[in-house]
Structures are given as C-alpha cells and as structure tokens.
Amino acid sequence: MLRGKHALPLAVLAALVLAASSWASAQDTNIEVGPDQQKNVSLTVYNDNLALVRDERFISLGLGLNILRFSDVARDIDPSSVRLVSVTAPGDLRLLEQNFEYDLVSRQKLLEKYIGKEIELNRDGVIRPARLLAVDSQGKLTVEMDGKILLDPPGNIELPALPSGLILRPTLVWYVDAKSAADHLAEVNYLTRGISWRADYVCVLDEKDRAIALNGWVTLDNRSGATYRDASLKLVAGEVRTVEADMGLKAVPMLSGAVPTPEAFEERPLFEYHSYTLKRRTTVADNQLKQIELLSAPNVPVKKLYVFETPGRRYGYQTYAGKKETGDVRVVIEFPNKADAGLGIPLPAGKVRVYKASPDKSLDFVGEDSIDHTPRDETVRLYVGNAFDLVGKRTVTDYKKIGTNSYEEACCIKLRNHKDEDVEIMVIERFYGEWTILSCVPSSYQKLDANAAAFKIKVPKGKEAEILYRVRVIAD
C-alpha cells in the first residue's frame, strides 16, 4: 500500500479501477448503427461539389463507456465537420473520442496485407500453398512456391481471412460516455465532397421566334460513396465560400409565374442565397445521376436580336487608316425573368439548350449558352450562334493622333442582309479611355457603359446598310 505524500485517497483509487473496468468492457462491445436504425436523412447540396448530410438513427447505449460504430456514411467526409448529438437527451452523452475509418476493402489492399504471408493458389481445383512476396499496381503477384520464385503465377488466389484494419463501408466511430442505459435518437451532421448539382434548361422556340417553352431540370451527381435513402432534398444556389484547407481537399400564357408540377421544388431565400426544396422524398444512390424537374414555363415572350461586334480590343496604337475587320453577326435570344412573362423565380446557373419548332412538329437544335445565377426581374440573354445570312465589315476610313495620348478615328461599318426579311442589327463599338462621338450617320447611338457604344440600324432584305461615325478618344 502507498503511504505518505504518494498515497492516493481510497475514493480516487476506486474511481480509477471503475473507469478502467468500464473502458475494458467497452473495448469488447461495439454498438453497430447501420441503415436499419435510420429514422430520417436529409441532404442539402451546394453548387460547388459540397453537401450537408443530416442523418438520424436510433441507438441503444449502456451506462458508462460505449463504442458507437456509425456505418454507411459518405466516403469523402470532412471529419472536422462531424457533429453527433442526442435528440432524446442531449445532456446525457459525453463524446470522448471520434474516428473516421475509411480504409475500405479492395483487391489491391487485401493482397498488400498478405505480403510476406501464406496464401493459396487454386488451379483447376488443385490448391497449392505459396508465400506472397510482392504485388504491383496492376495486381500481378510475385510468389515463392516449392523453393522457386514465380512471377504472376496462374490460378485463383484464396485468402484465409479478412485482414484486420480493413472495413467494408466507411464508418464513423465514437467513444461515448453515457450517464444511463437508455435508447436515444441520435443526429449526425457532416459535410462531404462528392455530391454536386447543376441546373439544365431546355427552350423550344415557336415558329415565329416570339415565345419559348422553358423547362428547367436539376441534375444531381452523387459520387460520395454513400446512398441516401428516402431523403429530404434541398439544393442551394449561390456562391458559398469554403476554405479548401479546412476540407482537406484542396404554350398558354401564364401570368402567375413558372408552373411547378405537384412534385416540384419550392424556392425560398436562404441567407444571401436561394434554396430549392423538393416537395417529396427521394433516394439519391451512390454513383448515380438523377434528374428532377425544377420548373415549367410554357409561353415566355422572347426577342431575337442580331449583334455585330468585331472581336479585337481596340486601343489607339492598334488602329490605322485603312484597317479592315470582318466579323460574324451573333444571334441572341432575350427574355425577362418576370412573373408577367411566365417566370419570375430565381434561376440557378446552368446550361440552356435552345430548340426550334418546325412546321412538321419536329424539333431542331439551334444552339446553347450558359447563364449565371439570375434573380427575378432580371433579363436573360442567350448567345446561341452566328447568323448565316448576315455579314458585317468594319473599315477605318481616317485616323489621326491629337497630342500624345489622344486620337480621332472615323469608321464605316457595312452590314449586308441576304435573308428574305428585313432585320435590325445592333453594332457594338468599344473604346478605351475618355471618348466622344463627334458625328454619326444614322445620328442615334446609345452609351452602354464607360467603354461601349451601341448603334442600331435596319437592313432591308437583300440590301446593304452602313454606319458612319467619328470618335475622339483620350487614351488611358
């Protein structure tokens, strides 16, 4: 017995013995909590390959220390984001330790665990023992058999048992100290990579290019290593900031808005973003692409615009008299994201594919573009291609420097229309510096921003039209 200053009080010794006994018994008792114990799971998926999982399961804990093994979780978990709490009695549980086990069984890992050990090779029913010496990245073996070294020997490999340290499914493991033996509803929250979503839109132009039928779809891609059965699904559109180091990864007008189907998403603001909650549950399987309808707007009015802009950025030192540039005339489809136009909901960023209805009721693909996150009451513009029958040419007819950092430039822009109908073309000219249009024929233009002017001109069918203007630029 210890005496003097090194002696421990009897109560402390008893507590240490009791704790050691409790720990030892817990080491032999693993409480497995799998999908069968699951009550509810919800999934919130963000644009940037990130998801928040909320997983509720029933657990039965004994008094004292318990080893809780929570299986069938995502493979790409951020372990630092994991949170376990008892919904039933939050104050009754104390978490002592948390581990994430993700060393999953694979052919390569199984073989590597047996390097230097005995294995068996089965060839046509004849089983022969061998010692595994090495395995390469393609799974080819080097073995020692009957005193000889064999490279990639024939036969099926048979292993006596599953090596320790390998698991079948990703598993979260907690050491939990419980105040009493009781059943709990436990909630586990964590962030994971490997799940992403995007919006895809399909537009069908009517025969006269005056309206579109717009359908939006959500495409969900799950590569997280887990299946979320009968889950509540919410999608978040917006740029949510994450710190990579913390993740350890680097045709009837509808005036009341887009028409949701009975099982569509419900849109709501979320902080500075927008969320879309599916009005039913769904199973999101591992390694699955799932598409769900987001919106349907059968008759959205549109405008078809023709835009001519030569591709090069224009500075004074790049310009000279006689310079000629030829460019395509872009085709742009424009429509308002407003309720009175049949929409009026925040549109998540995504790709828009545009089709054209033909008189025989068939559809032809005419182009695609992508849109950014578009709030309600903003305008959507889609650049879908270049007009085959419209041609534009820009010629610098005069150029002179004025002082050290300014110049005057005169331009002639000719536009030819080979179509069977009259068109209006918008010409965009860009200037870098402080600029002033000195003269213009036709006389009207619009200042789009600090560096751009827009000229609109009607070009009759089978004819040519031109714009003449002179500009003075004080270069930056």
Residue 6 has a pLDDT of 45
| Distance, first Cα to last Cα, the chain | 90
Is the pLDDT assigned to residue 287 strictly greater than 80? Answer: yes
The residue-averaged pLDDT of 271-293 equals 87
* DSSP states along 215-231: EEEEEEEE-SS--EEEE
Which of 77-81, 187-191, 246-250, 290-294 comes out lowest in average pLDDT? Answer: 246-250
Residue 13 has a pLDDT of 43
**Whole-angstrom Cα distance, residue 61 to residue 425?**
74
Share of the chain above pLDDT 70, in %: 84
Residue 123 has a pLDDT of 81
The per-residue pLDDT of the chain, averaged, comes to 83
Per-residue burial over 293-329, b = 16 or more CB atoms within 10 Å of its CB, e = otherwise: ebbbbbbbebeebbbbbbeeebebeebeeebeeebbb
Residue 57 has a pLDDT of 94
Residue 222 has a pLDDT of 93
**Whole-angstrom Cα distance, residue 128 to residue 347?**
65
Distance of CA 31 to the CA centre of its chain: 36
Helices (H) and strands (E) in the chain, counts: 3, 31
Confidence of residue 246 (pLDDT cuts 50, 70, 90): very low
Output the CA torsion 121→125→127→130 (10° steps): -20
Residue 262 has a pLDDT of 44
Is the pLDDT assigned to residue 442 strictly greater than 50? Answer: yes
Q: DSSP 3-state assignment of 214?
A: strand
Confidence of residue 436 (pLDDT cuts 50, 70, 90): very high
**Whole-angstrom Cα distance, residue 362 to residue 356?**
8
DSSP character at residue 88: S
The residue-averaged pLDDT of 300-317 equals 81
* DSSP states along 11-74: HHHHHHHHHHHHHHHHHT-EEEE-GGGEEEEEEEEETTTEEEEEEEEEEEE-SEEEEEEEES--
Residue 191 has a pLDDT of 93
Higher-pLDDT residue of 451 and 8 is 451
With contact defined as beta carbons under 8 Å apart, do 447 and 402 qualify? Answer: no
The residue-averaged pLDDT of 61-80 equals 88
**CA proximity to 394, closest of 412, 415, 417:** 412
Structure confidence by residue, pLDDT tens digits, 114-124: 788 888 888 88
Structure confidence by residue, pLDDT tens digits, 459-472: 999 999 999 999 99
In the chain the domains, ranked by start, together with CATH numbers, are 6-103+168-192 (no CATH), 107-158 (2.30.30.100), 304-336+379-475 (2.60.40)
**CA proximity to 167, closest of 256, 258, 105, 251:** 105
Share of the chain above pLDDT 90, in %: 44
